[in-house]
Structure formats: structure tokens, C-alpha cells
Chains A and B, each alone.
Chain A
């Protein structure tokens, strides 16, 4: 799915990431952890082409991310569901339209029944007409997850999706991601919450990647 080959990111003389080599295989579940400012968000941005590496090569679905045209990058992102910590909604559109937006930009029609089913899956069926600013942090994260999966992507990239929610909501979001992984989706979830990583044991078979000293390490054994 995604392969990093000796990737370096940063400014000359001050690298954020250095010599990163990794491979996210189809159907895998990886946690990405490390201290704040270690480069978790930057690594995730490399995975969907928002950032370009200074050195090395990032291959997304077999294509070099740097060589993709802007339209190719856009089409590649339709195969990846992205959940940001700040969600990035269009605040003037109701929740159901925000969730269906990836279909709209891809020129597809949203199936009303499937949309309701998706909102029910994330527990937001009753909030379909609510505007994003009126939702709580947990509701926004679950809505972002719904938007990320509406195109039935091959992969989910979640950047600190539990960063602003309480423990119960964190577990709910984790369970949703684990469920997606069981459905065959590749998942990469960035988090600094080690308790959450421990809680994943039993829910899914995951590997933990840790950014330490600008490098990426496989932390401990598989969960």
C-alpha cells in the first residue's frame, strides 16, 4: 500500500525524520507513536502526499508521491480515508453533507440509505442536520471517521483521532477503526496514548511504530 524508502524530511541541517524505511501491507493495522513534535503528523502527511520528502522515496499504491500530478494526487486521496485531529469540516454545511462530500467531489451521488446507515454506525444518525461547530469533540471525530470511510477506501490514516476526547469515546473510536481493519482496510493510527495502544490488544492484531530520534522503529512485539 505505502512504502517509505530511506525517507528524509525537514530542512537542511535540521531533519525531522531521517532514514525512514517502512512498508504498510494491505490489511495491516499500525499504531504510530512517539513524543509530541516527533514527526507523527508529518509522517502521516507524507503518506497522502501533502508533504514531499527531501530525500528518499514515498510510494503510495505503487506510485512515487513526488511524481504524481495534482489531479493524480487528488484521485489517490480518494483511496485513502484521512481523519485529522482537527477534523477539517466545512462549517457551513450540515453533517450529512460533510460526510457525503468525498462522493460529491468524486462526481458520485450519495445513497441516502447508505448515508444514514453510516451515520448510525458512528452513532450520529440523529445529528445529520447539525452543523459541525455545534458537535462535541467526540462527535466530530466520529463524523470525520464516517467521512473517511464513505468512499470505501483501501486505507485509513488517522492522526490523533482521540486527542480531544475522553477515554470512553477514545475506546469507541478505536473499536470503529478495529472493525474497519477486520473488514480488510489498512489502518495507520497516530497516537501518543499508550493506554489506548494496550487497550487495542484483543480488538485487533496491530504493530506499533515509534518515532525516536528522527528515526522510525518497530516498538516491542506485535500486539
Chain B
């Protein structure tokens, strides 16, 4: 175990001689840091998107899963009778935990965003709504539908499944796209670091040959490149993560009215997730540079 961990030693030791044997490459260094910062910034947003859509899918799937609505449209003189009949039927239906008719105040509140606050609900031919909560087992929707049709012809059962299912599926898909984006960002970062490391190794061919000539082992030569690229990537990713997290934190707070649009972000302990991004970037840089270095070194005897 200790022997395995020893490959990480170059990262945590002080500035070693191995660092000095490779001349610093200004433009490559800056480019590596900037790219790592940009990738970390994008990764934060992809992560926030994945988490927000995850929460949304859970909410849609969870909160409406056991609810249903019955809409009663009937002439004014029949509506109270049919409502009472519907409530009676629901009381006798297995799988119904709770049912109640909405009050005129609740109906007004529901319509307020569209029709304004002074709506004379009582004067309008609006349907009566009955809110139903199912038990764990749920009710037989088909059976209830047939019974309502027979006993309260103006009642229509909506168990929300028709519009809930595509919404949940969409949220799940957006979450998958967020995770796919994270995977793509990870792959692109690894490719970028590999290319930058290979360019640095190629530019320092003379240094590598001179070091092999005087008896340097491959791991000594690789150490300088690995340490440099890992630390540069870590620094860039830290900056990008900080900027990304700040941008997310400054977004408007989530509100019920705006729902999804302002819900993009992290909540509670989810704020710890962004911390994983610089660490992941550094691990990626360590592995990618080490592999690139040993691949190039094998071509020099």
C-alpha cells in the first residue's frame, strides 16, 4: 500500500530538483490553467443542472404520485348533488385515503394568476374540483371512472398520470444530459491535459535525452511533468470552481412561482459536491500526464 502511495510523493514533496530540470513553458502553463478553469466552471453548471432536475423529477414523481382530481361540470342546480355523490362514491372506494371538495376561495386562488384577484367565482359556471389522496395501494382508476360515469355523469377523473409521466421523463432526461455533460467535460479535460503534456514532453526532447544519458530513471523525469501539470490543473480548476459556485450562488432564490427556472443550484449539503471538481481534475491531470510521460519516455533509450 505504501509503495502504491509513493507514486503520489512527487505531488506533496517540496520543490524538488526534478522540477528544475524542465524549463518552464509559459504559454502552455497558462493555457492549461485557463482550460482547467473553464472546464471546472462548465462542470459546476452541469452538476447544478443535474442536481436541480433530479430534485424536480423527485418532486414531480413524489408529490403528485398519490394525488388525483375529479372535475365536476354540471348545471348549477345539479352541481351540489353530484359533488355529494362523488364524495360518497369516494368514501366507499378502496384505496382512497382522503377526499374533499375545494372551496370557492381555493378556486379563486387557483385562477388568480390568470384572471385577477377580484374574480366573482360564484357567478361563473366553473367546474367543482374534488381533491383526492390515494393510499399506498392506490385505487382502481378504471373502476372508479366507470362508477363515476354511472352515478355522477358530470364527473371526470384525472389521476395526473397523463401529464405527470412525460414531465418526470423529461426531468430524468435533462438530469441524464447533465451527467453526460459532466462525463464529456471530464473526457475533454483529460484529452486537453494529455495533449498539453505531450507537447511539453516533445518540446523538451533534448532535456529528456540529456537526463537519460546521465542515468535518470523514467520516474524521475516523469515526476517533473506530472507535478507541474497536476498543480497547474488543480489551480485552474479551483479558480473555475470558485467562479462557477459564485455564479450559482448569485442566481435568484428558488420560488414556488418560478419553480424550475430559479431552482438551478445546490441545496444544503449539495454545496459540498463542487469541492470534488478540483480534486477530480487534479487526479485526472496526474493520471493523464503520467501516462503521456511514460509513453513518450519509452521512445527514448
* Contact present for A74 and B210 (CB under 8 Å): no
1/0 per residue B194-220: CB within 8 Å of A?
Answer: 000000000000110111111111101
Complex-state Cα separation, A182 to B93, whole angstroms: 111
> With contacts A51-B301, A89-B210, A105-B211 known, is A97 near B20, CB below 8 A?
yes
A95 at the interface (CB under 8 A from B): no
Q: For B211, what are the chain A residues with a Cβ–Cβ distance below 8 Å? A: 90, 101, 105
Known: A88-B206, A89-B210. A105 touches B220 (CB 8 A): yes
Q: Which of B17, B206, B214, B220 lies in contact with A77, CB distance below 8 A?
A: B214
Contact pick for A105, options B209, B215, B297, B298, CB 8 Å: B215
B214 to A82, Cβ gap below 8 A?
yes
Q: Give the chain A neighbours of B23 by CB distance below 8 A.
A: 90-92
Q: Are A50 and B215 in contact, with the CB atoms below 8 A?
A: no
Task: Tell whether, in the assembled complex, residue B21 and residue A93 are in contact, meaning their CB atoms are under 8 Å apart.
Answer: yes
**Given A88-B206, A90-B210, residue A74 in contact with residue B216 (CB < 8 A):** yes
CB distance from B50 to the nearest CB of A (A): 44
| Contact of A73 with B by CB under 8 A | yes
The answer to whether A88 touches B301 (Cβ under 8 A) is no
List 12 additional A-B contacts (Cβ < 8 Å) besides A71-B217, A74-B217, A106-B215.
A50-B301, A52-B301, A71-B218, A74-B215, A76-B215, A77-B214, A88-B210, A90-B23, A91-B23, A93-B20, A101-B21, A101-B211
Number of cross-chain contacts by CB at 8 Å? 62
CA distance A101 to B214 in the complex (A): 8
Judge if A179 is at the interface, Cβ distance under 8 Å: no
Residue A210 is within 8 A (CB to CB) of chain B in the complex: no
Q: Which residues of B contact A52 (CB under 8 A)?
A: 301
Interface residues of A in 62-117 (CB under 8 A from B): 70-71, 73-78, 82, 84, 88-93, 97, 101-102, 104-106
Q: Which residues of A contact B214 (CB under 8 A)?
A: 77-78, 82, 101-102, 105, 147
A161 beta carbon closer than 8 Å to chain B: no
Q: Chain A residues with Cβ under 8 A from B210's Cβ?
A: 88-90
B301 touches A82 (CB 8 A): no
Task: Pick the most buried of B20, B23, B214: most chain A CB atoms within 10 A of its CB.
Answer: B214
Interface residues contributed by chain A, number (CB under 8 Å): 29
Against B, the Cβ 8 Å flags (1 = close, 0 = not) of A175-213 are 000000000000000000000000000000000000000
B212: chain A residues at CB < 8 Å are: 74, 77
- Within the assembled complex, what's the spacing in Å between the Cα atoms of A75 and B207? 18
Is A39 close to B, CB under 8 A?
no
Complex Cα distance A90/B21, Å? 7
From residue A117, how far is it (CB to closest CB) to chain B in Å? 20
The answer to whether the Cβ of A137 comes within 8 Å of any Cβ in the partner chain is no
Tell me how far the C-beta of A99 lies from the nearest C-beta in chain B, rounded to whole angstroms: 10
**Cross-chain pairs A/B with CB under 8 angstroms, 16 sampled:** A48-B213, A50-B213, A71-B218, A74-B215, A74-B217, A76-B215, A77-B212, A77-B214, A88-B206, A88-B210, A88-B213, A89-B210, A90-B207, A91-B23, A105-B217, A106-B215
Give chain B's interface residue range (CB within 8 Å of chain A): 20 to 34
Contact A78 B215 (CB under 8 A): yes
Is A49 touching B220 in the complex (CB atoms < 8 A)?
no
Chain B contacts for A71, CB-based, 8 A: 217-218
Name B23's closest neighbour in chain A (CB-CB).
A92
Max chain B C-beta neighbours (<10 A), residue from A76, A78, A89, A104: A104
Q: Is A84 a contact partner of B301 (Cβ separation < 8 A)?
A: no
Which residues of chain B have C-beta atoms less than 8 A from A50's C-beta? 213, 301
* B250 nearest CB across to chain A (Å): 44
Q: Are B301 and A105 in contact (CB under 8 A)?
A: no
Residue numbers in B under 8 Å from A78 (CB-CB) = 214-215
For the complex of A and B, list the 5 residue pairs with the smallest distance between their C-beta atoms, beginning with the closest.
Answer: A78-B215, A105-B216, A77-B215, A92-B23, A88-B210
Residues on B with beta carbons closer than 8 Å to the beta carbon of A70? 217-218, 297-298
A6–B206 alpha-carbon span in the complex (Å): 32
Provide the bound-state CA to CA distance between A97 and B20, in Å: 10
> Chain B residues near A51 (CB, 8 Å)?
301
State in angstroms the CA–CA spacing of A50 and B216 once bound together: 13
Chain B min CB distance to A154 (Å)? 13
A82 touches B213 (CB 8 A): yes
* Interface positions of A from 118 to 156, Cβ below 8 Å from B: 147, 151
Bound Cα distance A93, B224 (Å)? 15
Residue of B with least CB distance to A104: B17
List CB contacts (< 8 Å) of B179-206 with chain A.
206
Residues B9-58 near A (CB distance < 8 A): 17, 20-21, 23
In the assembly, what is the distance between CA of A48 and CA of B212, in Å?
11
Residues of B within 8 A of A105 (CB): 17, 211, 214-217, 220
